[in-house]
Amino acid sequence: MGQTKEFGLVRRWFRGLSLRVWLIIGFMMALLPVAVLSLFWYTDYRQQLHEPFQNVLHTQHKVLVSLERIQGSLWDIAAEVNDFAETGDEQYRDRFEEAERDIAIHLRDLELTVDEYPSFAPVLEGVQQQWSTLLDAASNVTKGSGPPNPTLMRFESVIAETGKRVESIAESMRILNEESHMKALETMERLDRFAAIAGVLALVFAGLGVFIIDQALISSTDKLVEGALLIAAGTRNRQIDVQVPPELASVANAFNTMLGQINQQENALAAAARADGLTGLNNRREFDRALDEQIALSHETSEPFALLMIDVDHFKRFNDTFGHLAGDDALRQVAETIAGSARENDRAYRFGGEEFAMILPGLRAYEAANIAERVCEAVAARTLILPDGQKQTLTVSIGLSVFNPKAAHPDVIELADRALYSAKQEGRNQVKITNSF
């Protein structure tokens, strides 16, 4: 129960959001996954690929350059030592010392690299070890030694081993480079997967954002436009159902309120156009329309109906005696009595002057005669209270005709008028029947 209440509160809160907020939410829903995954991708790319790979390549380049220069200096040392052993010329010793200083510089460069990247320490240790062995072997070579020269042979063996060692170290560097490259490829593949996921989620959330905007704005706007067009076309019985956003819901409610007022006004005008101003019964115009409708229905269903033409007896004399105001009041009370004597589906009309009419659907002559007699007796029995307080009575004469849809174009009004004339001629305050059979 509590969860349902909370859900209802959240739902009402969402429905209360303005159109601007709905649009912002929709666009944020569409852009949020793209922004988050883009940030994650960029961070991962920088940390896992770009910076490490760039640093490793830079460091490997520095190490490889130092190794290549050391290797070049080794060949210079080998040549100088051999020349010194053969000739004993001291200038070769000077060149040896110069090459030694170059190698010492390259070793210092390697030491700086190792301080920053300890993973290259084995490279430096291997080169330093070989270099120490090489210097030891070179220091034992004497000048002018004839062949075979054991110290020279040892030096050549050591320098060859040093060259192999440097080549081995370079090979290790190439392997390390390949490993870094593989790691970079794996990271790039992972980033590709993230990019694919980001693309899919972006499409999904963009669709969700479009759906939210559609429901909050476009769909509601379409309903408003449709409702306005229907109202303009004359449709008055359809409400505009818009709940979100509140701005458009308010417009829809205003439309619905206006539509209700229009319907009330039209109904009031229609009722006024149908009603007789004095008695409140339906008027002659409504009688003509209803009679045509009843005739058409009777032809369609083959069911008869009865028509009563009712005339107030001696009403001109009543008017002359008590005045027109009393006559109007008397007519209102007679009309009230006639309407009160009718069945639920019978309809009473003021035909004109002191004459009334009633349409009785689905009745045959004897059934309609019973109702006509009841009307006649009810009017005669009613005491009319005039404006000056006098009490008077009036009677009515009734002519009854029954419409037969099988007859050839019968004039049901004329038949009822004949019956009414007969009732008046035979003494009034009675019912006479004429039918179309």
pLDDT digits (tens, 9 = 90+) for 298-308: 989 988 999 99
Q: What's the mean pLDDT when you consider all of the chain? A: 79
Residue 304 vs residues 296, 320, 410: alpha-carbon distances, Å: 11, 40, 12
Q: Please tell me which residue, 9 or 148, carries the higher pLDDT value.
A: 9
Q: What pLDDT sits at residue 57?
A: 62
The pTM is what?
A: 0.49
Q: What pLDDT sits at residue 384?
A: 95
Q: Is 420 left (phi over 0), alpha (psi -120 to 50) or beta?
A: alpha
Q: What is the mean pLDDT of residues 371-391?
A: 95
Report the distance separating Cα 384 and Cα 380, nearest Å. 10
Q: What pLDDT sits at residue 43?
A: 73
| In contact, 77 and 138? CB cutoff 8 Å | yes
Check whether 202 has a pLDDT greater than 80: no
Compute the CA torsion angle 191, 196, 200, 206 (nearest 10 deg).
60
Q: What is the mean pLDDT of residues 131-142?
A: 71
**387: how many CB neighbours lie within 10 A of its CB?**
12
Q: For residue range 147-172, what is the model confidence (pLDDT) as tens digits?
A: 556 766 666 676 677 767 767 766 77
Among residues 6, 98, 179, 354, which one is catalytic?
Answer: 354
Q: How confident is the model at residue 371 (pLDDT cuts 50, 70, 90)?
A: very high
Q: What pLDDT sits at residue 227?
A: 78
How are strands ordered across the β-sheet holding 431-433?
Answer: 347-352, 355-361, 305-312, 396-403, 431-433
Check whether 114 has a pLDDT greater than 80: no
Q: What pLDDT sits at residue 292?
A: 93
Q: Is 354 a catalytic residue?
A: yes
Q: What pLDDT sits at residue 269?
A: 79
- The DSSP secondary-structure symbol of 429 reads S
Q: What pLDDT sits at residue 205?
A: 73
Q: What is the mean pLDDT of residues 27-49?
A: 68
Check whether 17 has a pLDDT greater than 90: no
Q: What pLDDT sits at residue 266?
A: 78
Domain positions in the chain are: 10-204, 278-433
- What SS3 class is residue 305? strand
Q: What is the mean pLDDT of residues 276-282?
A: 92
* CATH number attached to the domain at 10-204: 1.20.1420
What share of the chain in percent tops pLDDT 70? 68
Check whether 408 has a pLDDT greater than 60: no
Structure tokens belonging to residue 381: 């029995």
Report the distance separating Cα 65 and Cα 368, nearest Å. 125
Query: So what's the architecture of 278-433 in CATH?
Result: 2-Layer Sandwich (3.30)
Closest by CA position to 299, among listed 416, 161, 431, 407: 407
Q: What is the mean pLDDT of residues 246-255?
A: 78
Q: What is the mean pLDDT of residues 85-95?
A: 70
Q: How confident is the model at residue 124 (pLDDT cuts 50, 70, 90)?
A: low
Q: For residue range 235-244, what is the model confidence (pLDDT) as tens digits?
A: 777 777 777 6
